[in-house]
């Protein structure tokens, strides 16, 4: 019978490796679901309801809105634009905000309609 001599550093290495693998896997799933929600929202919402762990991905446009406001605030502090450039930046930011809000509304509509359909069955 062979004795194994595992040191504490071995377990620390495996724990770090596990967390890295988990992080890479979670990033892969999050990115896959975001791409799916962008190009095939109906099918992706359906898949998300099969795996409720992925439910927070549906609310990722809200994170995008927060990042948009943060980037706009930092940009307003660092950049000073006047005239037509200022109007172009305002049109870009407002268009982006409206499209993200509509995208979130569409995802919530699909989510609610799937919940209602599963309740009726």
pTM: 0.71
DSSP result, 86-108? HHHHHHHHHHHHHHHHHHHHHHH
Q: CA-based angle 68:110:30, to the nearest 5?
A: 50
> Does residue 14 sit within a domain?
yes
DSSP result, 8-32? HHHHHHHHHHHHHHHHHHHHHHHHH
Phi-psi region of 106 (alpha: psi -120 to 50; beta: other; left: phi over 0): alpha
Decide: 36 and 43 in contact? Cβ < 8 Å: yes
Which pLDDT score, from 0 to 100, does residue 25 have?
87
> Does residue 102 sit within a domain?
yes
> Does residue 2 sit within a domain?
no
Which pLDDT score, from 0 to 100, does residue 97 have?
92
Which pLDDT score, from 0 to 100, does residue 70 have?
93
> Does residue 1 sit within a domain?
no
Q: Splitting the chain (121 residues) into consecutive groups of 10 residues, what average pLDDT does each group show?
A: 58 72 86 88 86 84 90 87 86 92 92 86 70
> Could you report the per-residue pLDDT of 64-94, keeping only the tens digit for each?
899 999 988 898 888 888 888 888 888 998 9
Number of helices (H) and strands (E), helices first, in the chain? 4, 0
Domains identified in the chain, total number = 1
Which pLDDT score, from 0 to 100, does residue 4 have?
59
> Does residue 71 sit within a domain?
yes
> Does residue 29 sit within a domain?
yes
**Residue 57 belongs to domain spanning:** 8-120
> Does residue 72 sit within a domain?
yes
> Does residue 3 sit within a domain?
no
Which pLDDT score, from 0 to 100, does residue 100 have?
92
The sign of the CA dihedral 55, 58, 62, 63 is: positive
Token pair in block for residue 97:
């905000």
Which pLDDT score, from 0 to 100, does residue 19 have?
82
Decide: 110 and 45 in contact? Cβ < 8 Å: yes
């Amino acid at each position: 019978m062979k004795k194994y001599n595992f040191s504490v550093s071995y377990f620390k290495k495996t724990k770090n490796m596990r967390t890295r693998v988990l992080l890479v896997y979670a990033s892969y799933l999050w990115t896959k679901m975001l791409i799916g929600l962008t190009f095939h929202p109906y099918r992706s919402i359906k898949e998300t309801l099969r795996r409720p762990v992925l439910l927070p991905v549906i609310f990722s446009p809200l994170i995008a809105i927060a990042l948009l406001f943060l980037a706009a605030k930092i940009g307003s502090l660092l950049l000073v634009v006047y005239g037509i450039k200022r109007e172009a930046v305002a049109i870009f930011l407002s268009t982006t905000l409206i499209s993200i809000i509509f995208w979130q509304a569409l995802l919530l509509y699909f989510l609610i309609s799937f919940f209602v359909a599963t309740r009726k069955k």
